[in-house]
Amino acid sequence: MAFAVIKGVAYCLFHAPDLLVTMGTTQRLERLKNPASEYLQQLKANLRSYPEAVSYAPNQVFIGNLWPEELAEMDRPWYNKPVADASPRGRFGDIVSEELLLGLIKFADSFELVCLEKDFQEEIKQKLTATGIFTSADFQDWKEGHTLAEIGHYLETAAAEPLYYQEQLKGCIRRAHDVDEVLNAQVMLENLVAKATGIWALRRLLQNTKTAGTEIDYVIEASEEACGDMNQRGGGNFAKAIGELAGLVNATGADIRSFCSAPAHALLVAAALVKAGIYRQVVVVGGGSVAKLGMNGRDHLKKGLPLLEDVLGAFALLVSADDGRNPVIRTDIVGRHRIGSGATPQAVMEALVVEPLQRAGLKLVDVDRYAPELQNPELTEPAGAGNVPWANYKMIAALAVLRKEIERTELEGFARRHGLPGYAPTQGHIPSGVPFLGFAREGLLEGKYQRVMIIGKGSLFLARLTKLFDGISFLIEPNKAEPGQERPDGGGFRTAMAAALRRVARELQGEEG
């Protein structure tokens, strides 16, 4: 049976400076420990405006207005070199203002927990409709907004969390249960933001691929949040919650969790489901992580940088039955970090890169681009984490030297030829391989690349249940269908099913004869 294909992508960023201040974990903990700290006093003066976030070169790459190779040619630092004529709309997605994000959170709320000031709510409703992602029908069940006095009352008496835009109080989110900590206002806001940003990305994906929501069979959600209540803290289902508000009435779905590597796991599951013929079109989606806003803020300010971790990331990917055109996911060439693989950088890369290629009779130099952890180094280096993508590429290059595929003198050249600059926000699951899928798909379609490897890596030890590492990888290649063999009817599954039915019919005719 034919391989599944990558039919389309969407990548979106959501500017959230006020949420950074109020809800980012680093800032929340600082207020608990030292509410008068110098860091907290410096926060607001070092926030970026929405136009500044839009013109930031890595953000322009994320939504598809610049190729990663173009970013590699730009001198660093990038934060003080705005891209001229930068647009918030890219061929993959959007950079969304915090104003619209607050309205999106309200849209994602199914239990009347989000309260917005009535004039602000009406204004945002009109602006969301004007984006083309929403229609007026999406808001027909909205009740009238609240007064600031009502919002203040909830904040004072109901353990609500405030919602600000440009430092002005615009609303709040109430807790969903009086005593259940898993349904308190903070957790509900984190979960609703993940849901809301996932909805936007999924709706953008449907537009990008000209796909009706009714055509999607299955949704897999792969963020780092967990929804539930005190009896099953992570047992909930973001996938169906997001799919519901994106019009996926014929789909079912579930969540996959594995820290940063979850999207790569989810993509392989999606490809396997499609290849097996269980579903024809599967969406993988991941919303943003409020907790990671401003995660390295202290170090950024110490180094004289603005608070660069001011955007939430979201993505949506469409995996479909073979159509004879789009690049295929080679589910027969998969790298796995086994439980016994070991956690050293060399052991990890041998398991994820060397072993699957070796099984397929390929060399490290046969892969045009590797896409591992694509964190923007401008965000990680001030915190002492270094240039994460470059460290991965140097390790792959070192393995190529050990395997005598290249000379030692070619190590850095290999890393540059086969690597990519990091450009994704530090949103955990967002950077790990998936941001490059849009470019990989286009490059494979155009003949720019012949093989791309997506590498997902995750730190399972963060949950304090195991000291193990995690990782999974797979290859994407051009579709090998011969000219004239395109399958617009849905690809391999339908073709194989039709052939099987013809064989059965012939056998039955033979028996009757």
pLDDT in tens, 240-274: 999 999 999 999 999 999 999 999 999 999 999 99
The closest alpha carbon to 202, from 224, 186, 225, 218, belongs to 218
Would you state the pLDDT for residue 495? 46
Question: Does 370 have pLDDT greater than 70?
Answer: yes
Measured between alpha carbons, how far is 51 from 84 in angstroms, rounded to an integer?
A: 11
Nearest to 95 by CA among 201, 213, 206, 208: 201
Q: What is the pLDDT of residue 11?
A: 98
Cα 415 to Cα 381, 434, 452, distances in angstroms: 19, 19, 14
Amino acid present at 422: G
Per-residue confidence (pLDDT) for residue 47, from 0 to 100 = 98
- Residue 405 has what DSSP assignment? S
Q: Would you state the pLDDT for residue 20? A: 98
- Is 157 a residue whose pLDDT tops 70? yes
Give the Cα separation of 179 and 22 in Å (integer).
22
- What are 385-405's pLDDT values in tens digits? 999 999 999 999 999 999 999
CA distance 437 to 161: 36
- The confidence score (pLDDT) of residue 506 equals 59
| Average of per-residue pLDDT across 1-14 | 95
423-444: pLDDT as tens digits: 999 999 999 899 999 999 999 9
Residue 481 pLDDT level (bands cut at 50, 70, 90): confident
User: Over the chain, what is the mean pLDDT?
Assistant: 94
Fold of 331-477: Peroxisomal Thiolase; Chain A, domain 1 (3.40.47)
Residues linked to residue 281 through DSSP beta bridges, in sequence order: 320
Confidence (pLDDT) at 512: 47
pLDDT at 313 over 80: yes
Percent of the chain with pLDDT over 70: 94
Mean pLDDT within 338-359: 96
Q: Per-residue pLDDT for 286 more than 50?
A: yes
Using the predicted structure, report yes or no on whether residue 470 has a pLDDT greater than 60.
yes
The string of pLDDT tens digits covering residues 48-99 is 999 999 999 999 999 999 999 999 999 999 999 999 999 999 999 999 999 9
**How many CB atoms sit inside 10 A of residue 158's CB?**
12
Where are the domains positioned within the chain?
Answer: 331-477
pLDDT given for residue 507 in this prediction: 58
Give percent of the chain above pLDDT 90.
93
Q: What is the DSSP string of 178-198?
A: SS-GGGSHHHHHHHHHHHHHH
- Average pLDDT of the segment spanning 4-22: 98
**Residue 380: per-residue pLDDT:** 97
Task: Report yes or no: 438 and 6 within 8 Å, Cβ to Cβ.
Answer: no
Q: What is the pTM of this model?
A: 0.94
Cα 310 to the center of its chain, rounded Å: 16
Neighbours of 116 (CB within 10 A): 26
DSSP tag of 133: S
- Residue 509 has a pLDDT of 60
Compute the distance between CA of residue 197 and CA of residue 147 in angstroms, rounded to an integer. 26
Q: Given this model, what pLDDT does residue 491 score?
A: 41
